[in-house]
Structure 1
Amino acid sequence: MAAPAKRAVVFAYHNVGVRCLKVLLAGGVDVVLVVTHQDSAGENIWFESVMSLCALEGIACITPQDASSPELLAQVQAAQPDLMFSFYYRNMLPQALLAVAPAFNMHGSLLPQFRGRAPVNWAVLHGALETGASLHEMTVKPDAGAIVAQTAVPILPDDTAYEVFGKVTVAAEQTLWRVLPALLNGNAPRTPNDVQQGRYFSGRKPEDGRIDWSQPASEVYNLHRAVAPPYPGAFTDVGGQRYVIERARLSRNDDGKQSSKLPPGLAVVDNCIVGVCGDGRMLAISSLLFDAVPVTPAQLQARLANTDAANT
C-alpha cells in the first residue's frame, strides 16, 4: 500500500511562487493551504498570480496581512502539514510558524551571496556574472539556513534584471524538481550556509534608481539594467522634468573624444540620445521616457536648449 501523500502549507507569490507550486502539485504533494498576498494597486503587476492558480486547482488560499497573527498560526496548525515552503512570499515567518513543520525557502541567488531582498536586482547592479536559485532550510534569521539545492544561471553583459529573473524562475523550478523526491523521503542533502561569505541586502525603492552621471559608464549601465522596466527604471531630472531610461546599451564605438567635450548627463549626439558619464564614456539610449511617453532626439535637444537658456 502506497504511503499517503505529504501534506504541505505553501507561502507563495510572484512567478517563482506559481512555478514552484506547480512543481509540488506535479510531484504528488497534497497542498492543503496556500498563503499569498493581495496585489497592491500601486505596483506594476507584471507577474503571474498565485491566487489564480489556487482557484484553478481548487486549493484553499488566504491573504493575511500579518504573518505573525495568532489567526494565521491557528490556520497553519489546523492544516497539519508535514512540510512548509516559502516561494517568494514577501513577509518573514516568525518562529511560531516555523515550529509547525520543517520549512524550506526558495531564494533568488546563489547563497550565501545576495541574501535579503531583491537579490536579482542587486546582483545585476553589482555586475555579477552569475546568480541562481537556492532552496534552503528556513530559520528566523533570513536566508541563513542550510542549503538543500542550488542551480546557477549566467548574467550576460546586457541582461536586464527582468531577463535574469526569468532565468532564475526556471532555475527555481529545476532546483525544486530535482530535490523534491529526497525532500519527501526525508533524506535531502544539507550544505552549511556560511553567511560570513556573503552580504545581506535590503529592499529597493524607486528613488534608488536616480542616476549619478559622475559615476563610470559601467556603473550607470548596471543601474539601468538592474531597474529597467517593468521595474521603475533608472531616471534623471533635467529642468524639473523626470526622464526614465527604458532601453540603453553601453556605447560600443565611443572613444571618449566626443563625449569628453560634453558635461555629464543627457545629450543628443548625431541625432541620437546619449548619457555622458563621469569617465567620458556614453550610454546609447534607444528609448527615453517622459511621463511614460517616448522622447525623440529632437524633442530632448529642444528641451535641453531651453533648460540651458533658463540657466544663463
Structure 2
Amino acid sequence: MKPRAVVFAYHNVGVRCLRVLLARGVDVALVVTHEDNPAERIWFGSVAQVAAEHGIETITPSDPAGAALREAVMRARPDFIFSFYYRHMLPAGVLALAPRGAYNMHGSLLPKYRGRVPTNWAVLNGETETGATLHEMAAKPDAGAIVAQTSVPILPDDTAQEVFDKVTVAAEQTLWRVLPALLAGEAPHLPNDLARGSYFGGRKPEDGRIDWSKPAQQVYNLIRAVAPPYPGAFTDIGEDRFVVARARLAGLETIGTAASAPANLPPGLHVSDNTCLGVCGDARAIVISELRHQRDGQETVVTPAQFAQITNRSRHS
C-alpha cells in the first residue's frame, strides 16, 4: 500500500518537491497552497497547477490554524506531512495528524540561516555556500532533527535568484535521495544544534535602501541579495528613485585588485565616461549595467545620459 501524504507547498521548491513525491510513488491525498498575491510579482512555478495536472485535491486556506484546515487534513488520513516553501507555520495539532512524521524543506544548511528568506540573507552576508535541508518539523521553526541536506556554492557575482535556482535543485536532489529511506522508516535523524546557527526574520522592500557610505563589498552584496525579481537595491535623489538592477564590483575580475573610483567623487551614484558608477565609502566603485528609474508609479530602464539629465533636473528644480 502506497504511503499517503498531505503536502503544504508553494514556489519553485514546492513544485519540484511535489513532483519528486509523485515520481517516488507517494499517494498525495491533498495539496495545501497559497492564492497568488496580485501585488506580488509571480516569477515562479505554480504548485496548484501541478496538483491539477495530477488530479489532486487542492485547498488554499488563509488560516493555517483554522478548524477547516485541520478537518481537511484529518479526512486525507496522511501517513506523512511535507512542507515545501509553504509560507505559514503549521500548528502542532496539524503536525500530529501524520503518524509517520512531518517534514519541511528549508533553503539553507541548517542550523545556519533558520527563518525567513534564507537565500537572500546568505547572499547579503557574503556567504560562499548554502544549500537545502530536509528536517523534521517541530513547534519551533527550523529546529527539528536533520534528515538530509545538500550544499551548493555561492559565486562572487551570483544574485539571490541565481542562488535560489541552485537551492531548488538541491532541494529536489535531497528529497529524491533520502525519500526511499524515509518511507521505509530508516532515514537518519541527526541533531540540529541551534547554537551553531542563527534565526533571521523576513525582509521588507525598504531594507533594500543603499547606504553608499558603507564598503563596496557590503553594498554589492545587498545589490545581489535583492536584485530583480526581488524589489531591488535603491537610492533616492529628490523625488526620483533609482534601482540598481544589475552591477558588478569593479576590480572583481582581477583577483587581488581593488579598483578605485575616479578621484574626488563622493559616495553615491555618478556618471563617469558614460558609465553609471556607485561610489562607496571605501572609495571603491560599483559599475552599474542596468539602472531603473521609478517615479509616479512608473519604472523605466535609463541610460547614463538619461540618469544625468534626470538628476540635473531634480537638483535644479
Task: Return the TM-score normalized by structure 1.
Answer: 0.96
Is the 1:107–1:143 contact (alpha carbons within 8 Å) kept by the matching residues of 2?
yes
Q: Which amino acid in 1 is paired with 2:83?
A: S
Q: Among residues 55, 60, 64, which one is paired with 2:57 in the alignment? A: 60
Q: In 2, Cα distance between the equivalents of 1:144 and 1:52?
A: 31
Structure 2 CA distance for partners of 1:131 and 1:257, relative to 1, 3 Å: closer
Q: In 1, Cα distance between the equivalents of 2:45 and 2:314?
A: 42
Q: SS in structure 1 opposite 2:210?
A: coil
Q: In 1, Cα distance between the equivalents of 2:250 and 2:261?
A: 13
1:47 aligns with 2:54: no
Consecutive aligned runs of 4 or more in structure 1 exceeding 2 Å deviation: 253-257, 302-310
Is the 2:261–2:279 contact (alpha carbons within 8 Å) kept by the matching residues of 1?
no
**TM-aligned CA deviation for residue 130 of structure 1:** 0.3
**TM-aligned CA deviation for residue 117 of structure 1:** 0.3
**TM-aligned CA deviation for residue 218 of structure 1:** 0.3
Is the 1:254–1:282 contact (alpha carbons within 8 Å) kept by the matching residues of 2?
no
**TM-aligned CA deviation for residue 263 of structure 1:** 1.1
Which whole-Å deviations, capped at 9, do the CAs of 1:54-112 have from their partners, x for residues lacking one? 11110010000000001110110111100110000000001100111110000000000
Q: Among residues 253, 257, 260, which one is paired with 1:256 in the alignment? A: 260
2:25: which partner in 1?
A: 28
1:302: which partner in 2?
A: 309
Q: SS in structure 2 opposite 1:55?
A: helix
1:193: which partner in 2?
A: 192
1:8 aligns with 2:15: no
Q: In 1, Cα distance between the equivalents of 2:80 and 2:181?
A: 13
1:124: which partner in 2?
A: 123
2:14: which partner in 1?
A: 17
Q: In 2, Cα distance between the equivalents of 1:257 and 1:5?
A: 63
1:183 aligns with 2:190: no
Count the aligned residue pairs. 306
Q: Which amino acid in 2 is paired with 1:276?
A: V
Q: Which amino acid in 1 is paired with 2:265?
A: L
Q: Which amino acid in 1 is paired with 2:15?
A: V
RMSD over equivalenced CA pairs, Å: 1.1
Matches within 5 A, 1:65-80: 65-80=62-77
Q: In 2, Cα distance between the equivalents of 1:143 and 1:242?
A: 37
Q: SS in structure 2 opposite 1:120?
A: helix
Matches within 5 A, 1:1-312: 4-101=1-98, 102-252=101-251, 255-256=259-260, 258=262, 260-291=263-294, 292-309=299-316
2:254: which partner in 1?
A: none
Is the 2:261–2:285 contact (alpha carbons within 8 Å) kept by the matching residues of 1?
no
Q: In 2, Cα distance between the equivalents of 1:31 and 1:308?
A: 60
**TM-aligned CA deviation for residue 257 of structure 1:** 5.8
**TM-aligned CA deviation for residue 132 of structure 1:** 0.2
**TM-aligned CA deviation for residue 309 of structure 1:** 3.9
Is the 1:6–1:30 contact (alpha carbons within 8 Å) kept by the matching residues of 2?
yes
Q: SS in structure 2 opposite 1:230?
A: coil
Q: In 2, Cα distance between the equivalents of 1:263 and 1:308?
A: 16
Is the 2:244–2:288 contact (alpha carbons within 8 Å) kept by the matching residues of 1?
yes
**Stretch moving more, 110-119 or 260-269:** 260-269
Is the 1:34–1:62 contact (alpha carbons within 8 Å) kept by the matching residues of 2?
yes
Structure 2 CA distance for partners of 1:145 and 1:257, relative to 1, 3 Å: closer
Gaps of 5+ in 2: 252-256
Q: SS in structure 1 opposite 2:278?
A: strand
Q: In 1, Cα distance between the equivalents of 2:172 and 2:53?
A: 20
